[in-house]
Structure 1
Amino acid sequence: MSAQRFTGKVVLITGSSSGIGQATAILFAKGGAKIVITGRSAENVEKTRKMCMAVGAKSSDLHPTVGDVMDDGFLTILVETVIDIRLSRQPNTFGKLDILINNAGTLEVDMSGKEGWEMGVEVMEKSWDSNLRSIMVLTQKAIPHLIKTKGDIVNVSTFLSSGPLGVLSMPYYAVPKAALDQMSRSMAHEFILKGVRLNTVNPGLVRTSFFARLVGDENARKMENYVASKPEYIPLGRVATAEDVGEAILFLADRKVSECIVGQSIIIDGGSRLCCNIDMSDFKEKMSQS
């Protein structure tokens, strides 16, 4: 497979200032792509830009943009400015869009300390906006441009949304992600008739800062090490990295190797879904006993 397989391709990655999005941006940079880097933190967006340049990307091939995907105005800026449909050409705009990676999403918590279905409805509403509505809005804005390039979309969901098992501690995260999976299948059916492919990746536990928001950095690392040591949780024997998920995203974005994959959800969990339902409440109980 060519190291520069994405040369000439323009990729927009939401939430690319950290975690899976950042790792994916770096992998696309290695592949020769032009990349739109987005995030809420200017410092972290700049960090990703420098990391992409460190693996060979040119400054002119990177478009860092700071904003919140829950702001429709920001999503409009992403599409109109970056793709350059305005009358005057802007610096570091690329004139087209080939690949959209809808990665941004949040794990909302109830500041009062409530968990599960005791959390307030406002927490669900915010999670719904972040994990579903923002993706729908951005995709609607981007699809006319992706049709022109016969492009590809990869949505980032979660393994918590798949299968018949319930999620005890994070239902407000799993529910909109399950809706995202169904929306993705519906979109994939419609879009492929117009030449645009759409697929979804559903990561399990990934070694990023995502869960640290709930339990803190130290407890997150303990949790990852504990789970990795238990084959009844992860048969593979290790927690996935952001790069593992990024490689799957690049696979689905590359028509030369995945053209016939359309409307699918690829679970990346080291085999967890084969044997159990990993849940935060279970971790807290077992780790307190260890």
Structure 2
Amino acid sequence: MTILVIGRGGQVARALARRGDVEVIGRPDFDLLQPDAIAAEIVRRRPRVVINAAAYTAVDKAEDEPDAAMAINGEAVGAIARSSAEIGAALLHVSTDYVFAGDKSAPYVENDPTGPTGAYGASKLRGEQLALAANPRAIVLRTAWVFDACGANFVRTMLRLAKSRDVITVVADQHGCPTFADDLAAAALAIAADPHHAGIYHCAGSGETTWAAFAEEIFAQSRARGGPHAHVKHIASAEFPTRAKRPANSRLDCAKLAREYGFVMRPWREALGACLDEIAAGGWRVE
């Protein structure tokens, strides 16, 4: 077996399963809260590359469950890294822009100082650190604003809300790079084919936008395809308080990925169109 993907239920894991010849494992067969079981499964299967796409992703809930977030996003990653190193396998670990404070005025590069502002970001940073420390062939792939034709994500949420609302309020002062899960999976598989450069890489959709402008583009493209649409009311983050603070700047500079692996993510608007084509083909079922 060549590539083992951890995280059966997530958007990225599903995209990897659709795109590549991989084996995907996850709950209930594979519990990230049992490190010994993690190690045993990886050693038994002996993959050439392990892609960890599993995570505790409930950003607000993590503020009330920091230990659970740390166990899954931090300590479990350490177990995965150690066991993959034991059999000489490379590790690709999917991480997030939340490891940064979000207060930089320009896109973040890989060696910028980290500074997570919440429990989720802190747990993901811990996972990065453990992965890189335990496996000399570890590759951390930071991404942001992931969307897909299935699962829980911003694109599907906007479309669902548009079915019952004419106006939707969306924050307009948070900036980022929307990333189609299918494109992220393509990047991960391209790296997995020859994981010769270890370290941290940023991998997000080309171009940047705000959440409000992203919503407007979703509705414009959806309307053109005969799908649900609504008017977007721009608001400030202060008008939409959340349990965990969101980064004002989630933009990731992906030049290193292009330089070392020759992989360039496609423009996010183009990727959004591909995603909406999938949703439209399914009858706009987003509930």
Give me the TM-score of the superposition, normalised by structure 2.
0.56
Query: 187, 190, 199: which is aligned to 1:263?
Result: 199
Where 2:16 maps in the other structure, the secondary structure is helix
* Cα distance change, pair 242–71 in 1 and its aligned pair in 2 (3 A): same
What is the aligned partner in structure 1 of residue 144 from structure 2? 204
The 1:245/1:143 distance shift into structure 2, 3 A limit, reads same
Aligned residue number for residue 97 of structure 1:
47
Shift of 1:250: 1.2
TM-aligned CA distance change 1:230 to 1:109, over 3 Å: closer
Give the deviation of 1:231 after TM superposition. 10
Corresponding residue for 1:10?
2
Which amino acid is 1:175 matched to?
A: A
Per the alignment, in what secondary structure is the counterpart of residue 268 of structure 1? Answer: coil
Over the matched positions of the two proteins, sequence identity in percent amounts to: 15
- Equivalent residue for 1:53? none
Structure 1-normalised TM-score? 0.56
Which string of whole-angstrom CA distances, capped at 9 and with x for unpartnered residues, describes residues 97-126 of structure 1? 200111110124677xxx8xxx44xx1110
Structure with the larger helix share = 1
Where does 1:1-290 land on structure 2 (aligned, <5 Å)? 10-29=2-21, 35-40=22-27, 66-80=29-43, 82-83=44-45, 96-108=46-58, 119-120=63-64, 123-145=65-87, 147=88, 151-162=89-100, 165=103, 171-187=118-134, 191=136, 197-208=137-148, 218=157, 233-234=175-176, 239-255=178-194, 259=196, 261-272=197-208, 285=239
Q: Which amino acid aligns with 2:24?
A: I
Rounded Cα–Cα distance in structure 2 between residues aligned with 1:222 and 1:283: 19
CA contact (8 A) 1:159 1:204 kept: yes
Q: Distance in 2 between matches of 1:200 and 1:76?
A: 19
Letter in 2 for 1:40: R
Q: Report the AA paired with residue 41 of structure 2.
A: L
Question: In structure 1, what is the Cα distance between the partners aligned to 2:82 and 2:133?
Answer: 13
Secondary structure of the 1:246 match is: helix
Contact 1:202 1:267 in 2 (8 A): yes
Secondary structure, in 3 states, of the residue corresponding to 2:92? Answer: strand
SS of the aligned residue for 1:202 comes to strand
Shift, 1:164, TM fit: 5.7
Shift of residue 75, structure 1, vs aligned partner: 1.1
Give distance in 2, aligned partners of 1:232 and 1:109: 16
Structure 1 position 140, deviation (Å): 1.4
Structure 2 gap segments, 5+ residues each: 105-113, 163-167, 215-234, 242-287
Q: Choose between structure 1 and 2 for higher RCO, CA contacts under 8 A separated by at least 6 residues.
A: 2
Compute the displacement of 1:14 (Å): 0.7
Q: 1:213-239: per-residue Cα shift (whole Å, max 9, x none)?
A: xx996358669xx9999797346xxx3
Report the number of matched residues: 203
In 1, are the aligned partners of 2:74 and 2:124 still within 8 Å (CA)?
yes
SS of 1:105 mapped into structure 2: coil
Closer, same or farther in 2 for the Cα pair 1:232/1:72, shift >3 Å?
A: closer
Q: C-alpha displacement at 1:76, in angstroms?
A: 3.9
Partners of 1:217 and 1:24 in 2: how far apart?
20
Question: Partners of 1:173 and 1:252 in 2: how far apart?
Answer: 26
In structure 1, give the amino acid aligned to 2:26.
G
Structure 1 residue runs of 5 or longer lacking an equivalent are 1-8, 30-34, 42-65, 84-95, 192-196
User: 2:32 is paired with a residue of what secondary structure?
Assistant: coil
Q: 1:183 to 1:271 in 2, by over 3 A?
A: farther
Letter in 2 for 1:22: R
Q: Following the alignment from structure 1 to structure 2, what is the Cα–Cα distance between the partners of residues 184 and 101?
A: 12
* C-alpha RMSD over aligned residues: 4.3
- Could you tell me how far apart the structure 2 residues matched to 1:283 and 1:219 are? 17
